[in-house]
């Protein structure tokens, strides 16, 4: 173990009084923008299982198989229970930390969502304790996934999304590193509610929620006209006096839904469905990352290259944005997602998609509808022919 990791672990153990009594830190498993996550052994596992029983908190949650020590003859009933300890950086605002813990608490009974066991605070340092889930690195297994594998993976992801969205919570950061999946056991859990928010908590009315007719007249004199162009000296105002449009854009580039890029001020849980669609696009195209833009404008161009300028324009107008481009590679018509899959996997005319793969693409098209109000919901997704239990 790296020396700085070792000293960070020592510090964590000494910062929290009694830490060593309950937990034994094993190794660092993740380091992100907002936290460091460690794997640890919970030495008092049996005790807290009883605590849960008393509170009747976890009774409805059946844990997937966890990593265990090999059974020993001397103590056949002793199991080792591992936890993930998420040390949230002290630079995160207290409101943000509280938000993450509160939302996790609300979702504690949702299947396929990683439950929060407990959390501790010592002065400005907060740690969250979660059950440890063994998982693979997405980049090592996604290319080998068969259609039945993809179905199981997505069923688990959409189950987590259904629970989250039923609670009217937007996750905002759906991507492979936040969905811990073990290809061996085919279990997955959604983690990282650090950017999550309650639907409507920050919204202001957006055109996309208006009735069609009203929207048409408003679009005609839209104040939010924003244009995207490669080089149009006259097209992009130098001294833009229009008020800037503000919207929550938190998330990860490449996974942001078009309405997030268009700065929709009334974003819904549909943004997570788009991101889940991008995961499916990654798996089917065998390319990760599929979208690889440096900023939001580039991200719009990437999406426009697939969907075509015409549909992109319509999508922008939903939120009062004028999408315009002179980039020659962005055509008017765009391409079908089926074509994109065929090209990115280098399959010629002689090797068309199978019926199962076509169904997967159909499902993906429903997840990646440019219009958030027409996009499939998590609940509907689980009923979709591609994901239905009896479809395999
Ligand atoms: P961040 O906000 O820093 O992205 P995450 O909650 O996404 O924090 O955790 C970062 C990484 O730590 C994850 O991508 C995963 O590899 C690992 N991790 C998080 N929670 C768990 C868990 N319950 N079990 C195992 N590994 C986890
Ligand atoms: Mg994360």
The pLDDT value recorded for residue 222 is: 53
State the catalytic residues: 173
Reply yes or no on whether the pLDDT at 321 is more than 50: yes
Categorize the per-residue pLDDT at 99 as very low, low, confident or very high, splitting at 50, 70 and 90.
very high
> Per-residue pLDDT averaged across 345-369, rounded?
95
**Ligand number, closest to the Cα atom of 133:** 1
Nearest C-alpha to atom 22 of ligand 1 is from which residue?
Answer: 132
Distance CA 59, CA 48 (A): 13
Show the ligand 1 pocket: residues with CB < 6 angstroms.
29-30, 32, 34-35, 37, 84, 86, 114, 130-133, 177-178, 180, 191-192, 194
Reply yes or no on whether the pLDDT at 70 is more than 80: no
The pLDDT value recorded for residue 215 is: 78
> Per-residue pLDDT averaged across 95-111, rounded?
96
Nearest C-alpha to atom 27 of ligand 1 is from which residue?
Answer: 84
Nearest C-alpha to atom 4 of ligand 1 is from which residue?
Answer: 32
* pTM for the full predicted model: 0.89
Categorize the per-residue pLDDT at 226 as very low, low, confident or very high, splitting at 50, 70 and 90.
very low
Reply yes or no on whether the pLDDT at 337 is more than 60: yes
Reply yes or no on whether the pLDDT at 385 is more than 80: yes
The pLDDT value recorded for residue 2 is: 85
Distance CA 55, CA 67 (A): 25
The pLDDT value recorded for residue 155 is: 98
d(CA 174, ligand 2 centre) in Å: 9
> Per-residue pLDDT averaged across 294-316, rounded?
96
The pLDDT value recorded for residue 60 is: 44
The pLDDT value recorded for residue 391 is: 61
Give residue-wise pLDDT tens across range 245-291.
Answer: 888 888 999 999 999 999 999 999 999 999 999 999 999 999 999 99
The pLDDT value recorded for residue 48 is: 56
Question: Picking from 60-74, 305-319, 371-385, which range would have the lowest pLDDT averaged per residue?
Answer: 60-74
Length of the chain equals 392
**Could you identify the residue written with the tokens 């990760």?**
288
The 3-state secondary structure of the chain reads CCHHHHHHHHHHHHHCCCHHHHEEEEEEEEECCCEEEEEEEECCHHHHHHHHHHHCCCCCCCCCCCCCCCCCCCCCCCCCEEEEEEEECCCCCHHHHHHHHHHHHHCCCCCCECCCCEEEEECCEEEEEEECCCCCCHHHHHHHCCHHHHHHHHHHHHHHHHHHHHCCEECCCCCHHHEEEECCCCEEEECCCCCCEECCCCCCCCHHHCCHHHHHHHHHCCCCCCCCCCCCCCCCCCCCCCCCCCCCCCCCCCCCCHHHHCCCCCCCCHHHHHHHHHHHHHHHHCCCCCCCCCCHHHHHHHHHHHHCHHHHHHHHHCCCCCCCCCCCCCCCCCCCHHHHHHHHCCCCCCCCCCHHHHHHHHHHHHHCCCCCCCCCCHHHHHHCCCCCHHHC
Categorize the per-residue pLDDT at 235 as very low, low, confident or very high, splitting at 50, 70 and 90.
low
The pLDDT value recorded for residue 59 is: 42
Give residue-wise pLDDT tens across range 117-172.
Answer: 999 999 999 999 999 999 999 999 999 999 999 999 999 999 999 999 999 999 99
The pLDDT value recorded for residue 224 is: 47
Q: Which atom of ligand 1 is nearest to the CA of 134?
A: 25
Give residue-wise pLDDT tens across range 21-55.
Answer: 999 999 999 998 899 999 999 998 766 555 544 44
For the chain, the average pLDDT equals 88
């Amino acid at each position: 173990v790296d020396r700085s990791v070792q000293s960070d672990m020592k510090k964590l153990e000494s910062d929290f009084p009694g830490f060593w009594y309950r937990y034994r830190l094993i190794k660092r498993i993740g380091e992100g923008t907002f936290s460091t996550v460690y794997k640890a052994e919970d030495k008092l596992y049996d005790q807290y299982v009883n605590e849960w029983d008393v509170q009747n908190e976890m009774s409805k949650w059946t844990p997937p198989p966890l990593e265990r020590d090999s059974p020993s003859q001397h103590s056949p009933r002793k199991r080792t229970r591992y936890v993930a300890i998420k040390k949230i950086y002290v630079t995160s605002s207290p409101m943000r930390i509280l938000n993450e813990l509160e939302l996790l608490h609300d979702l504690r009974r949702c299947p396929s969502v990683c439950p929060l066991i407990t959390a501790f605070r010592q002065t400005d340092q907060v740690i969250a304790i979660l059950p440890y889930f063994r998982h693979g690195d997405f980049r090592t297994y996604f290319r080998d996934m068969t259609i039945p594998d993809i179905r199981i993976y997505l069923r688990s992801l959409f189950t987590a999304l259904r629970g989250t969205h039923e609670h009217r919570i937007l996750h905002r950061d759906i991507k492979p590193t936040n969905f811990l999946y073990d290809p061996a056991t085919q279990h997955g859990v959604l983690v990282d509610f650090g950017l999550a928010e309650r639907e409507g908590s920050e919204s202001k009315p957006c055109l996309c929620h208006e009735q069609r007719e009203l929207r048409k007249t408003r679009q005609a004199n839209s104040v939010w006209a924003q244009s995207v162009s490669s080089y149009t000296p006259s097209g992009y105002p130098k001294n833009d006096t229009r008020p800037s449009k503000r919207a929550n854009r938190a998330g990860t580039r490449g996974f942001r839904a078009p309405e997030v890029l268009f700065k929709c001020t009334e974003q819904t849980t549909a943004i997570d469905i788009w991101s889940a669609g991008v995961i499916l696009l990654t798996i089917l195209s065998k390319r990760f990352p599929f979208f690889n833009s440096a900023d939001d404008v580039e991200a719009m161009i990437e999406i426009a290259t697939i969907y075509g300028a015409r549909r992109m324009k319509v999508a922008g107008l939903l939120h009062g944005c004028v999408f315009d481009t002179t980039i020659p590679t962005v055509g008017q018509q765009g391409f079908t997602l089926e074509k994109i899959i065929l090209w990115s996997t280098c399959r010629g005319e002689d090797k068309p998609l199978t019926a199962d793969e076509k169904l997967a693409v159909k499902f993906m098209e429903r997840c990646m509808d440019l219009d958030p109000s027409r996009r499939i919901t998590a609940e509907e997704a689980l009923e979709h022919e591609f994901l239905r239990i009896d479809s395999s």
